[in-house]
């Protein structure tokens, strides 16, 4: 365990750009009072900070290159948010009033949650990559080979697209996308009833156990044990 902790800690020795930005975001998210227009400006600033973090992570870790699903999700969110903002402006004939700012505030809060989700996925993907490398290094040593034996070459369809971990309780959506049950339920609870990848409406009652994937995982574990 000490070897694993040492292998991981070397990547987090000093405060990084995005860690400093995260501190600024948390400071901005302290209770802000004012009109919807005023609060919306603070939320918009948070959005820009999170997007800067996303760019920084991608620049250093090539997250979008390594994970095409994550890249497609980010681009889909970008387009959806731009379309939603344009639709709001058209709805109010490009004029600003109290109702406009109330609706803009709700949009910005949604945008912030979505970009937060992307950033969390990027961090999780990067950390899992470090874990895999560290575990592989430990497993390859003669002294540790009997302690840890990783699953090699796990197919992408056996890995949850949000947590990037091997499925334990896979469920499938009407659109055919499989998620880890606890992860997708948490998303629906926090962000609303929509599929995080397709953006289609999705409710908990529409999720069904993916027995085929679960059987494949059981078989894979059996072969690797």
Residue 35 has pLDDT above 90, yes or no: no
pTM, rounded to two decimals: 0.53
Average pLDDT over residues 8-19: 42
Domain spans in the chain, listed from the N-terminal domain onward: 13-140, 156-224
- 156-224 CATH: 3.30.40.10
Both tokens of 108, joined, read: 């910005």
Q: What is the pLDDT of residues 80-133, one digit of tens each?
A: 889 999 999 999 888 888 899 999 999 999 899 888 888 888 877 655 555 455
Kindly give, in sequence order, each residue whose CB lies less than 8 Å from that of residue 148, ignoring residues fewer than 6 positions away: 135, 138, 139
Write a three-state SS string for 60-106.
Answer: HHCHHHHCHHHHHHHHHHHHHHHHHHHHHHHHCCCCCCHHHHHHHHH
Rg (CA), the chain: 21
Distance in angstroms (rounded) separating the CA atoms of residues 45 and 111? 12
């Amino acid at each position: 365990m000490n070897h694993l902790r040492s292998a991981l800690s070397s990547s987090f020795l000093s405060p990084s750009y995005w860690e400093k930005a995260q501190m600024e975001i948390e400071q901005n998210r302290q209770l802000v009072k004012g009109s919807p227009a005023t609060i919306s400006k603070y939320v918009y600033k948070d959005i820009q900070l999170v997007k800067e973090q996303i760019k920084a992570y991608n620049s250093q870790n090539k997250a979008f290159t390594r994970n095409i699903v994550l890249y497609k999700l980010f681009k889909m969110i970008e387009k959806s948010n731009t379309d939603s903002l344009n639709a709001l402006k058209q709805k109010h004939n490009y004029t600003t009033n109290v109702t406009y700012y109330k609706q803009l505030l709700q949009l910005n809060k949604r945008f912030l949650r979505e970009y937060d989700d992307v950033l969390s996925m990027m961090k999780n993907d990067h950390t899992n990559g470090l874990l895999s490398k560290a575990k592989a290094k430990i497993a390859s040593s003669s002294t540790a080979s009997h302690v840890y034996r990783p699953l090699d070459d796990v197919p992408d369809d056996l890995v949850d697209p949000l947590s990037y971990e091997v499925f334990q309780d896979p469920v499938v959506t009407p659109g055919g996308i499989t998620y880890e049950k606890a992860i997708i339920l948490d998303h629906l609870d926090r962000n609303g009833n929509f599929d995080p990848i397709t953006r289609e409406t999705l409710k908990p009652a529409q999720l069904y156990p993916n027995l085929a994937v679960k059987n494949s995982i059981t078989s894979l574990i059996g072969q690797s044990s």
